């Protein structure tokens, strides 16, 4: 076992740590995407670029707000729509409105999110000093990378497919480029200024989705990291048994074991704090995604019933359904992983080697182990809407409820 140092909530991260690099990259992407700095140190960006972003971001934010308001205003200004256009209006208003609510909520907890990022990075640095398991860290990075790529591909595919669905008829026929229904112009307005307004509206949608997507990436990566923190903790406690197989007197081994065990208890406390923090900062994201999943899949199934069965017509529906299913899955699967990994910790603590202690050391350690196991046995849950325990089972139940809602409505 390496030399054990006292764990602290004020640990200083190092730039050589891979987790440091992962979160630094994601926070930089988040800054470039939505103009908000979630990093706890200097962003390491050119000062001129930061100044430009700080000046542009309020303007973009105002444009996005007007974009969202335009969706709701269309219910009053656009009464003469086809059945598909009406369903599209309801669908995109629901998705964009709820997504913007999630976006605003995460920005509201910007300070708490920054504290969480700092703690996750610092925990990885400290844990690597006392339990250097590179395989778990590599697994975490591979998982985060795969999930981020999947999220980006399905969301971008959905947005681009909507553009193609409206763009191709607009280029080949006399149809208008109507990706979504704004408050203005009218869907049948064929003036040049109306066409330009629709293109601007679509570009603003792309900007809005980038702003939401980068914050989703930050929440999902944080959840993945917390799940792997519990996995690391299990490995750490299991490795404590190796202390008694090393050289030295029994008294030295017992003292070293007690100190190491206390470090593990402290790291467990920090991990529980991180879990509570992700519930606070990302709670609206978890809840919003559940609502988006139920409402959007119901509307997509309803839209499928009235849509022509052609590739061009079905492609946006398929990609939107994939984006919703995978997006919801990424939130719920990772939240479920946190719960699963946390349930393995009591067994790891029990097999940490406490039975090798003798005399007074045995008395002290048994009390400490009993309290630690009791604490670790408390369920670690991340909830959506305040009562839905997010897991693989709840994901299946939520997807089924979308079909149930569609059956009732249709």
pLDDT for 15: 58
Residue 84 lies in a domain: yes
* Contact of 257 with 242, CB cutoff 8 Å: no
Residue 316 lies in a domain: yes
Return d(Cα 49, Cα 46) in angstroms, integer.
Answer: 5
Residue 8 lies in a domain: no
Residue 261 lies in a domain: yes
Residue 143 lies in a domain: yes
Neighbouring-strand partners of residue 383: 389
Those residues with Cβ within 8 angstroms of residue 371's Cβ, 6 or more apart along the chain or in another chain: none
pLDDT, tens only, 148-199:
999 999 999 999 999 998 898 888 888 889 888 889 999 889 899 999 999 9
pLDDT for 13: 47
Residues constituting the chain? 410
Among residues 312, 306, 290, the alpha carbon closest in space to that of 87 is found at 306
* DSSP string covering 39-97: -SS---S-HHHHHHHHHHHHHHHHHHHHHHHHHHHHHHH-----HHHHHHHHHHHHHHH
Please give the structure tokens belonging to residue 17: 């740590």
Dihedral over Cα of 9, 15, 17, 21: its sign: positive
Low-confidence spans in the chain with pLDDT less than 70: 1-16, 132-133, 405-410
Return d(Cα 290, Cα 313) in angstroms, integer.
Answer: 26
State the residue range of the domain holding 160: 18-409
Residue 12 lies in a domain: no
pLDDT for 2: 37
* Contact of 258 with 361, CB cutoff 8 Å: yes
How many structural domains compose the chain?
1
Residue 1 lies in a domain: no
Residue 363 lies in a domain: yes
Please give the structure tokens belonging to residue 252: 């030295």
Assign residue 348 a region (left: φ > 0; alpha: ψ between -120 and 50; beta: otherwise): alpha
């Amino acid at each position: 076992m390496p030399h054990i140092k006292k764990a602290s909530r004020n640990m200083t991260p190092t730039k050589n740590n891979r987790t440091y690099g992962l979160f630094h990259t994601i926070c930089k992407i988040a800054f470039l995407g939505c103009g908000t700095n979630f990093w706890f140190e200097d962003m390491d960006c050119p000062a001129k670029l930061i100044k430009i972003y700080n000046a542009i971001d309020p303007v973009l934010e105002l444009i996005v707000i007007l974009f969202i308001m335009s969706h709701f205003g269309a219910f009053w200004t656009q009464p003469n729509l086809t059945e598909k256009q009406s369903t599209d209006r309801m669908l995109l208003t629901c998705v964009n409105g709820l997504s913007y609510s999630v976006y605003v909520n995460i920005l509201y907890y910007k300070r708490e999110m920054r504290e969480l990022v700092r703690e996750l990075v610092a925990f990885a640095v400290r844990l690597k000093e006392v339990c250097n398991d590179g395989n778990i860290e590599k697994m975490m990075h591979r998982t985060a990378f795969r999930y981020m790529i999947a999220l980006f591909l399905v969301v971008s595919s959905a947005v681009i497919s909507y553009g193609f669905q409206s763009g191709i008829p607009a280029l080949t026929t006399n149809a208008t480029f109507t990706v979504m229904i704004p408050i203005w112009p009218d869907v049948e307005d064929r003036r040049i200024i109306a066409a330009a307004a629709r293109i601007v509206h679509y570009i603003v949608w792309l900007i809005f989705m980038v702003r939401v997507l980068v914050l989703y990436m930050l929440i999902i990566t944080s959840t993945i990291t917390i799940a792997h923190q519990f996995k690391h903790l299990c490995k750490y406690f299991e490795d404590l048994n190796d202390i008694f197989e090393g050289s030295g007197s029994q008294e030295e081994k017992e003292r070293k074991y007690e100190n190491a065990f206390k470090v593990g208890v402290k790291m467990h406390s920090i991990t529980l704090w991180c879990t509570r923090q992700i519930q606070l900062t990302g709670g609206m994201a978890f809840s919003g995604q559940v609502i988006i999943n139920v409402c959007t899949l119901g509307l997509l199934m309803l839209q499928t019933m009235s849509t022509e069965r052609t590739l061009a017509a079905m492609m946006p529906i398929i990609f939107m359904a994939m984006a919703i299913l995978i997006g919801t899955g990424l939130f719920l699967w990772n939240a479920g992983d946190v719960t699963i990994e946390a349930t393995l910790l009591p067994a790891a603590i029990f097999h940490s080697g406490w039975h090798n202690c003798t005399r007074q050391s045995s008395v002290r350690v048994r009390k400490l182990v009993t309290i630690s196991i009791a604490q670790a046995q408390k369920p670690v849950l991340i909830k959506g809407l305040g009562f839905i325990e997010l897991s693989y089972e709840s994901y299946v139940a939520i997807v089924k409820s979308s079909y149930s809602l569609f059956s009732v409505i249709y």
